[in-house]
Amino acid sequence: MRKIHQKQEHTSSYYAATVNEKTAYPALRGGVSADVCVVGAGFTGVSTALSLAERGYSVALVEANRVGWGASGRNGGQLIHGISGLERIRKKHGESVADLLWDIKWRGNDIIRERVAKFGIECDLKDGYAEVATKPGQTDWFAEYVEEREQHGTPKTWEIWDREQTRELLGTDAFHGTFVCFRDGHLHPLNLCIGEARAAYELGVQIFEQSPVTGIDHGSRPRVRTADGYVDADAVVLAGNAYSQFEPKHLANLVFPAGSYIIGTETLSDDMAAEINARDVAVCDLNEVVDYYRLSADKRLLYGGACNYSGRDPASIKEYILPRMLKVYPQLKDVRIDFEWGGKIGIVLNRVPTVGRINNNVYYCQGYSGHGVSATHVMGEIMSDAVAGTMERFDLFASMDHFRIPGTQWVGNQIIALGMMFYKIKDKLG
Ligand SMILES: Cc1cc2nc3c(=O)[nH]c(=O)nc-3n(C[C@H](O)[C@H](O)[C@H](O)COP(=O)(O)OP(=O)(O)OC[C@H]3O[C@@H](n4cnc5c(N)ncnc54)[C@H](O)[C@@H]3O)c2cc1C
């Protein structure tokens, strides 16, 4: 069984150092009753809880550490539409679901924008996400992006920058061209997660922190247990993603934790910030194993990447990531690095999030394969729909077959690491 991370405070990230609110929800003690118990207060759990509360359900949200402690409070903050693996769902179900999948693809972004506006969440939300080509052939994909959008009659919210414009606007010669989408963007993920949790709390959600769930007693009204208490509920939603795995009989070896790492520079001068990112967009390359970066609101460069599938974290995150950053921005060689941190993403072999139900009333949703800020929000809505009895979108995901790597999680991680080594070599060779 995967290790449960228990009662920890936030990691030493830039985000944790700049939170709007240090949450201090109580630990779960004694018995609580609710319509729904949600386990895990990352974006999936908080989003599900908030969506349910808005529909009038009573909800208990139980978190092992702090709200946003996992990937949701540590990520690159890149707001990218879509869910990994949707193309597989389209292949399985055919063209009749194409429009529904297109709506699902963009819904997460809309939910975030709606909530930021509705609840006044301060999370430095900005428009613009740039995909950059590190190899000339990758720019060919931009025509497909345009075609797909035009087919769906999407308003023109994108720009394509050629090599020269890319050099001018991103201050580097490393890229051959750029596709920028202004329906995507970037934000402070921990402040978004904490803000959404606050909104949920104000709508009546009972939030418990520092309360690792240790097990579930199944039945018509399952009991979710922690060391010092329990929640009885009509339905349970498991949202522990890469940091936990309940119900090994059903869920073991479907999602594999992989490390991704970020460094944060000191605040850059206005001139330097304008030189390396004149339009203040999030940036991600188009390789299989991506590098991604953006400027924070206070003009630090937050540069991340180097996904590590072996299950072992690097001895020094700074030494691991800095050479990648300097390859793109040699002009930052004298800049101080103030932050370094990592987090776990949940990888699924076929890249489709694993979604389903155990004993009819324990739902789960996990595994966004590194692309989850937006996806978790639409999945929260889909989980909330399912609990309320509307199954159409839930069934699309739940119908997908997932391969379980036999053996221990360690064996699975080594197999995934081998597979990814192939992609890393492919990225290098071009
Ligand atoms: C370094 C990094 C960079 C990333 N960058 C991006 C990006 O730029 N854009 C993007 O779209 N995606 C990105 N991702 C992915 C994205 O962050 C995740 O897909 C998303 O946050 C997953 O949210 P979640 O709520 O499912 O899981 P998590 O945020 O990991 O939350 C799971 C929660 O469950 C809790 N939990 C686990 N077990 C228990 C238990 N037994 N009892 C109670 N609680 C429990 C954990 O403590 C945790 O808080 C990145 C991820 C990482 C790690």
Residue 289 CA to residue 420 CA, distance in Å, equals 8
* Pocket lining: 394 vs ligand 1, CB cutoff 6 Å: no
Query: What is the atom index within ligand 1 of the atom nearest the CA of 46?
Result: 25
List the end-to-end C-alpha distance of the chain, in Å, as a whole number: 39
Q: Which has the closest alpha carbon to 74: 345, 342, 290?
A: 342
Q: How far is the CA of 343 from the centre of ligand 1 (A)?
A: 8
pLDDT of amino acid 310: 73
> Which of 75, 210, 307 to mutate for ligand 1's pocket (most ligand atoms within 8 Å of CB)?
75
Q: What angle do CA 228, 211, 19 make, to 5 degrees?
A: 150
Token digits of residue 128: 């613009």
Residue showing tokens 């150092």: 17
Domains of the chain: 14-75+190-255+349-414 (3.50.50.60), 124-187+257-347 (3.30.9.10)
* Pocket lining: 39 vs ligand 1, CB cutoff 6 Å: yes
Residue 192 CA to residue 179 CA, distance in Å, equals 26
Residue 10 CA to residue 3 CA, distance in Å, equals 17
Residue 195 CA to residue 225 CA, distance in Å, equals 27
Q: Can you list the residues of the chain whose pLDDT is less than 70?
A: 1-5, 245, 311, 406-430
Q: Which has the closest alpha carbon to 363: 225, 229, 276, 236?
A: 236
Q: How far is the CA of 221 from the centre of ligand 1 (A)?
A: 27
- What does the pLDDT look like over 321-344, one tens digit per residue? 999 999 999 999 999 999 999 999
Residue 11 CA to residue 369 CA, distance in Å, equals 21
The kind and range of the H/E element at 347 are: strand 337-348
- What does the pLDDT look like over 345-375, one tens digit per residue? 998 888 899 999 999 999 999 999 989 999 9
- Name the 3-class secondary structure at 230: strand
Q: How far is the CA of 166 from the centre of ligand 1 (A)?
A: 32
Q: Which has the closest alpha carbon to 282: 306, 304, 260?
A: 304
Token digits of residue 43: 């974006």
* Pocket lining: 45 vs ligand 1, CB cutoff 6 Å: yes
CB atoms within 10 A of CB 54: 15
Query: What is the atom index within ligand 1 of the atom nearest the CA of 379?
Result: 26
* Pocket lining: 128 vs ligand 1, CB cutoff 6 Å: no
- Please tell me the residue having the least CA distance from ligand 1 atom 31: 42
* Pocket lining: 138 vs ligand 1, CB cutoff 6 Å: no
Residue 384 CA to residue 54 CA, distance in Å, equals 10
- Cα distances from 12 to residues 9, 74, 293, in angstroms, run 9, 9, 18
* Pocket lining: 14 vs ligand 1, CB cutoff 6 Å: no
- Report pTM: 0.95
Q: Which has the closest alpha carbon to 373: 120, 147, 72?
A: 72
Q: How far is the CA of 85 from the centre of ligand 1 (A)?
A: 18
pLDDT of amino acid 424: 57
Query: What is the atom index within ligand 1 of the atom nearest the CA of 65?
Result: 47
* Pocket lining: 292 vs ligand 1, CB cutoff 6 Å: yes
* Pocket lining: 293 vs ligand 1, CB cutoff 6 Å: no
Residue showing tokens 């691991």: 320
- Cα distances from 280 to residues 226, 258, 263, 381, in angstroms, run 44, 28, 18, 30
* Pocket lining: 400 vs ligand 1, CB cutoff 6 Å: no
Query: What is the atom index within ligand 1 of the atom nearest the CA of 282?
Result: 8
Q: How far is the CA of 123 from the centre of ligand 1 (A)?
A: 17
pLDDT of amino acid 422: 56
Query: What is the atom index within ligand 1 of the atom nearest the CA of 344?
Result: 53
For residue 146, the Cα-to-chain-centroid distance in whole angstroms is 25
> Which of 211, 230, 244 to mutate for ligand 1's pocket (most ligand atoms within 8 Å of CB)?
244
